Amino acid sequence: MPINERYEPLVLEKKWQERWEREGLFRAGRRPNAPKKYVLEMLPYPSGKMHMGHVRNYLLGDIYARYFAMKGFDVLHPLGWDSFGLPAENAAIKDGVHPAVRTRENIASFKHDVISLGLSYDWSRELNSCEPEYYRWNQWFFVKMLEKGLVYRRFSKVNWCTGCLTVIANEQVKDGTCERCDSPVQEREMPEWAFRITRYSQALLEGLDGLTAWPDRVTGMQRNWIGRSEGVEVDFPVENGSPVRVFTTRADTLFGCTYLVLAPDHAQVLSLTTAAQRPEVEGFVAEMAVLDHAQRFAEGTEKRGVFTGSCAVHPLTGAPIPIWIANFVISGYGTGAVMSVPAHDERDFAFARKYGLPIKPVVRPVDSAAPNSSELQAAFTAEGLLFDSGSYTGLPSAEGRRKITAELEAEGKGKATVTWRQRDWGFSRQRYWGTPIPILYCERCDPNREGIPVPEADLPVVLPEIDVQEVLTGKGQPPLAKVPSFVNTTCPKCGGAARREVETMDTFVDSAWYYARYLSPHLDTAPFEATAANRWLPIDIYVGGPEHAVMHLLYFRFWSRVMKELGLTPSDEPVTRLIAQGIVNGSDGRKMSKRWGNVISPASLVQKYGADTVRVYVAFAGPPERDFDWSDDQVEGAFRFLRRVWTLVAQHQPEIQGATYEGAWEGEALELRRATHKCIQRVTQSIERLSFNTAVAGVMELVNALYAAEKPSTQAEKAAMAEAVSALTLLLTPFAPHMADEIAEGYGQEVFTVSRAWPEFDPALVVDDVIPYAVQVNGKLRAEVRVATGAGEQEVRQAAEADERVKAYLTGKTVRKVVFVPKRLLNYVVG
RNA sequence: GGGCGGAUGGCGGAAUUGGUAGACGCGCCAGACUUAGGAUCUGGUACCGCAAGGUGUGGGGGUUCGAUUCCCCCUCCGCCCACCA
């Protein structure tokens, strides 16, 4: 079938997308005896339209999935929908449409966009987190984790988002505002459900060392977030009261402690406050209490504090240590109290200066004398040598720290401790559109309102149908509380009246384990089959944005460990190799957004150029992990490239289709074959190391070479050209799969390209007969000589020294040394 | 303040373990084919210089026969975290 002269992507792409789907070409499990690859992109929230970030995300995964399929792997490449969540609920409040309806529409539209890109998904495994079929397993895990003490109810300070009108997790607070809606976050005292993720802090931290194929920036962010810090808790005795316990990482500066500071909401504040100081302290505490986190810790906020009137006693020197409270001390970290060492801490220095508190240096730089406290201009925060520190004087900081800690421990005055920045994951949400928390409250069986888990047999607890106008008011009360048919139920223990929990789960629960559900998406006896988990886990390649580094990806790693402990999965870690894809900015370099009017819609681009052009452009624009700015001109370039391919293969088709040759290869035909095999080598290596942009460049080079070649006339040349076109088609498959199949079909191929084997290069054909050697004199390039491949140093030297320019640089000089690098260069070191 | 990235032509970006800097694309210049070209094809294109030659990977040092690549110091940009004791 001759290839049409005109390249009409829209027509042919639709045709192939339909055929692929009809054939079930991307079903996982088609090669049960082959090694597996699990390629996954982060679960999308189905907003109505796909944006460029999605395109890049799915494309990076798709290139890999197709490549692995051609390499003979059994590939699992699924997609589903993170369909619970606030945007749908907020839209419902606004226009009265039920979130389920809106979500269904959005998924249909989004999926249409996804399909139009020709992505190789196994749609038989599509999952949707808002369906009971899925979220019942969230509930199942909840109950299992409750049994293991990994879920608990607490009454504590929570982060209340004033925009989303719900509690959010620590990870979801950025700069004191909500990461989703940017509204201020308040601290509120209320009950909530939490996952005991901190039980795994150490494991999650250590696990990072094994994640060698994760980007450093992501593991770095996680390390930072987990925030392990080693130090010591020290008790400062107080007369007529319990001691004040502080946490410090700098026990070596203990002798420099001149006062203590507590957080305003520290439990001991009132008992330590003397009558005389009471009005001032209470005023200060009240003032701090009304500030939200962002206000209290805004950048540049002045340090303020008040004296409680009480003193503690220094544990080693016995000196009186005044106790203050101050705005900058955080009650939730360490013990909520700090020992102030103004000489060696910037914050303490500023505070001491302001309130005229003593500053006592006890550590000096190794190479200078001990400073006088009055001449200290700033805190000396580095490590050094101790002085004025009793028997520890003269020790380096690290050793001093060890010995002081040992003494404190020996005397029962302190304890070496590890403190973490990470907190437990609070997942209660006071919203409707999420997984109901499967808990009942029965006044008879559960007088303390701790909650009774819904028995496994009664799961799922299904989200009730509601009257949207009536229930979703956006007033900040859990909407489910307004649905009596949901709330009122019977107690599984006593059979009496009980009430259901009305809060729902954070949607990060849905995305914490969905990758395992793809293994058995419709199983109704377990979240997934163990045999499938053994076959497919862990995920080989996971692609998504770095903005999930400390939310999703941390919960994900936590859940993976829990699943392993439940005996469900084989590995601690969920993902072997992570790609944190860069952002696609607008052509003006700003983030694509309606606000800047620089949004490029993928759907309209596909309409204009076809999916293959968009795919080639995005792959070619830059390395996956780097941001790039959109460029209309470069898209044109991608389209031009594909059309060049098209024209080339169409023109040559009549004379080369089916051409074979058995004799010896030489001349033009041999050169053509070399170009082909070098290209195969280059593209293969590029894809293996995730360098899709250079892989495309490699294919472009081959196309250029084929254009430059003479029109094939001999049988050998025709066969060589046929081989080139065949290789070109296959190499193009991950990037422009529709065109690849269309060309292959035109050339009489009956098998889909993605089902064919990735081409192998012939090692003999990637070496030339002649190698150009760079000839340097004293490291400067002076000539290039062409020498037969396999020539040794002597022959290369002969050729080099015959060169006029080289001769000129060598005459009259003594050659002191000659550096010979096989296949690359020759360097004369002369003097 | 801490952590992690990054800086290469007019632009996006190449350069396996130190070995000919600038692949590939865009843009630009010239030519061919054309009634025409914003289509297509061919050639050119780091900078200075007529040339010989010289200079060049943010800046400064160092190691080396040789450094975009390794080491030290500095500047700027991006992201993340942040009064975390």
The count of residues in chain A is 831
Q: Which two tokens stand for residue A598?
A: 């620089």
Strand partners, A436: A504
Q: Which two tokens stand for residue A321?
A: 């240590």
Half-sphere exposure of A487 (CA within 13 A, CB side): 11
Q: Which residue has the higher pLDDT, A372 or A206?
A: A206
Strand B reaches within 7 A of the A700 CB: yes
Provide residues 590-619 of A with CB closer than 7 Å to any strand B atom: none
Residue A225 CA to chain centroid, in angstroms?
13
Half-sphere exposure of A805 (CA within 13 A, CB side): 10
Strand B reaches within 7 A of the A336 CB: yes
The tens digit of pLDDT for each residue in A220-229 reads 889 989 999 9
DSSP secondary structure string for all residues of A144-185:
HHHHTT-EEEEEEEEEEETTTTEEE-GGGEETTEETTT--BE
DSSP secondary structure string for all residues of A31-56:
-TTSPEEEEEEPPPP--SS--HHHHH
The tens digit of pLDDT for each residue in A54-104 reads 999 999 999 999 999 999 999 999 999 999 998 899 889 888 999 999 999
Mean confidence (pLDDT) of chain A: 92
Residue nearest to nucleotide B53 (CA to C1'): A782
Q: Are strands A497-500 and A177-178 parallel, antiparallel or unpaired?
A: unpaired
- With contact defined as beta carbons under 8 Å apart, do A546 and A554 qualify? no
Provide residues 173-192 of A with CB closer than 7 Å to any strand B atom: 173-175, 179
The pair phi, psi for residue A239, each rounded to 5°, is -65, 135
Residue A371 has pLDDT above 80, yes or no: no
Residue A767 has pLDDT above 90, yes or no: no
- With contact defined as beta carbons under 8 Å apart, do A324 and A354 qualify? no
The tens digit of pLDDT for each residue in A535-562 reads 999 999 999 988 888 889 999 999 999 9
Residue among A332, A508, A554, A293 nearest A421 (CA): A332
CB atoms within 10 A of CB A320: 12
- The Cα–Cα gap between A25 and A2 comes to 25
Q: Are strands A320-326 and A385-386 parallel, antiparallel or unpaired?
A: unpaired
Residue A11 has pLDDT above 80, yes or no: yes
Residue among A282, A280, A272, A288 nearest A330 (CA): A288
CB atoms within 10 A of CB A692: 26
Nucleotide nearest to A772 (CA to C1'): B20
- With contact defined as beta carbons under 8 Å apart, do A46 and A82 qualify? yes
Of all residues in chain A, the percent with pLDDT exceeding 70 is 100
Residue A374 has pLDDT above 80, yes or no: no
The tens digit of pLDDT for each residue in A260-285 reads 999 999 999 999 999 999 999 999 99
Q: Which two tokens stand for residue A134?
A: 């899925």
Residue nearest to nucleotide B5 (CA to C1'): A217
For residue A438, give the 3-state DSSP assignment: coil
The ipTM, to two decimals, is 0.94
pLDDT band at A138 (very low <50, low <70, confident <90, very high): very high
Strand B reaches within 7 A of the A785 CB: no
- The Cα–Cα gap between A737 and A716 comes to 29
What is the helix (H) or strand (E) element at residue A360, kind and residue range? none
Strand B reaches within 7 A of the A772 CB: yes
- The Cα–Cα gap between A584 and A517 comes to 30
SS3 content of chain A, % helix, strand, coil (to 5): 40, 20, 40
For residue A532, give the 3-state DSSP assignment: helix
Q: Give me the pLDDT at residue A672, please.
A: 93
Q: Which residue has the higher pLDDT, A647 or A813?
A: A647
The pair phi, psi for residue A495, each rounded to 5°, is 75, 0
- With contact defined as beta carbons under 8 Å apart, do A735 and A619 qualify? yes
- A430-460 burial: b if 16+ Cβ within 10 Å, else e: bbbbbbbbbbbbbeeebeeeebbbbeeeebb
Residue nearest to nucleotide B24 (CA to C1'): A697
Q: Give me the pLDDT at residue A418, please.
A: 92
- The Cα–Cα gap between A498 and A490 comes to 5
- With contact defined as beta carbons under 8 Å apart, do A527 and A533 qualify? no
For residue A127, give the 3-state DSSP assignment: strand
Cis peptide before A438 (omega within 30 of 0): no
Nucleotide nearest to A248 (CA to C1'): B85
- The Cα–Cα gap between A344 and A365 comes to 11
Strand B reaches within 7 A of the A589 CB: no
Strand B reaches within 7 A of the A774 CB: yes
Residue A745 has pLDDT above 80, yes or no: yes
- A119-157 burial: b if 16+ Cβ within 10 Å, else e: bbbbeebebbbbeebbbbbbbbbbbbbbeeebbebeebb
- The Cα–Cα gap between A61 and A37 comes to 11
Q: Give me the pLDDT at residue A162, please.
A: 85
pLDDT band at A212 (very low <50, low <70, confident <90, very high): confident
- The Cα–Cα gap between A256 and A822 comes to 64
- With contact defined as beta carbons under 8 Å apart, do A430 and A165 qualify? yes
CB atoms within 10 A of CB A220: 13
pLDDT band at A47 (very low <50, low <70, confident <90, very high): confident
DSSP 8-state class, residue A777: E
Residue among A521, A502, A528, A346 nearest A434 (CA): A502
The tens digit of pLDDT for each residue in A418-429 reads 999 999 999 999
Strand B reaches within 7 A of the A817 CB: yes
Residue nearest to nucleotide B66 (CA to C1'): A779
**Ranges of H-type helices in A446-565:** 468-471, 484-487, 510-517, 530-536, 552-565
- The Cα–Cα gap between A776 and A821 comes to 11
Residue A596 has pLDDT above 90, yes or no: no
Nucleotide nearest to A170 (CA to C1'): B81
Q: Which residue has the higher pLDDT, A182 or A110?
A: A110
Strand B reaches within 7 A of the A679 CB: no
Which residues have a Cβ under 8 Å from the Cβ of A769 and sit 6 or more positions away?
A788, A789
DSSP 8-state class, residue A745: H
CB atoms within 10 A of CB A621: 22
Residue A654 CA to chain centroid, in angstroms?
50
Residue A170 has pLDDT above 90, yes or no: no
Q: Which two tokens stand for residue A347?
A: 């914050």
- The Cα–Cα gap between A189 and A184 comes to 16
The tens digit of pLDDT for each residue in A285-337 reads 999 988 877 778 877 788 999 999 999 999 999 999 999 999 999 988 899 99
Distance A54 CA to B23 C1' (A): 29
Using CA atoms, how far residue A609 sits from A11, A49, A112, A524, A617, in Å, is: 11, 18, 17, 44, 11
Distance A499 CA to B38 C1' (A): 71
- With contact defined as beta carbons under 8 Å apart, do A258 and A362 qualify? no
Distance A440 CA to B51 C1' (A): 92
Provide residues 520-579 of A with CB closer than 7 Å to any strand B atom: 546-547, 549-550
Residue A654: burial class (beta carbons within 10 Å; 0-12, 13-18, 19+):
exposed
Distance A703 CA to B32 C1' (A): 21
Residue A365 has pLDDT above 90, yes or no: no
The tens digit of pLDDT for each residue in A177-204 reads 888 888 888 888 889 999 999 999 999 9
Q: Give me the pLDDT at residue A220, please.
A: 87
The tens digit of pLDDT for each residue in A234-263 reads 999 998 889 999 999 999 999 999 999 999
- The Cα–Cα gap between A525 and A226 comes to 35
Of all residues in chain A, the percent with pLDDT exceeding 90 is 73
- The Cα–Cα gap between A555 and A757 comes to 38
Residue nearest to nucleotide B67 (CA to C1'): A779
Residue among A175, A219, A192, A80 nearest A451 (CA): A192
Q: Give me the pLDDT at residue A814, please.
A: 86
Least confident of A215-229, A522-536, A566-580, A726-740: A215-229
- A633-651 burial: b if 16+ Cβ within 10 Å, else e: ebbebbbebbebbbebbbe
- Longest CA–CA span in chain A (Å) reads 108
pTM: predicted TM-score of the whole model, two decimal places: 0.94
Distance A6 CA to B69 C1' (A): 46
Residue A244 CA to chain centroid, in angstroms?
40
The tens digit of pLDDT for each residue in A785-800 reads 888 888 889 999 999 9
- With contact defined as beta carbons under 8 Å apart, do A262 and A269 qualify? yes
Provide residues 24-83 of A with CB closer than 7 Å to any strand B atom: none
- The Cα–Cα gap between A143 and A134 comes to 15
Nucleotides of chain B touched by protein CB (<7 A): 2-5, 12-16, 19-21, 23-27, 39-43, 53-55, 65-67, 78-85
- The Cα–Cα gap between A554 and A387 comes to 43
Region of A491 on the Ramachandran plot (φ > 0 left; ψ -120 to 50 alpha; else beta): beta
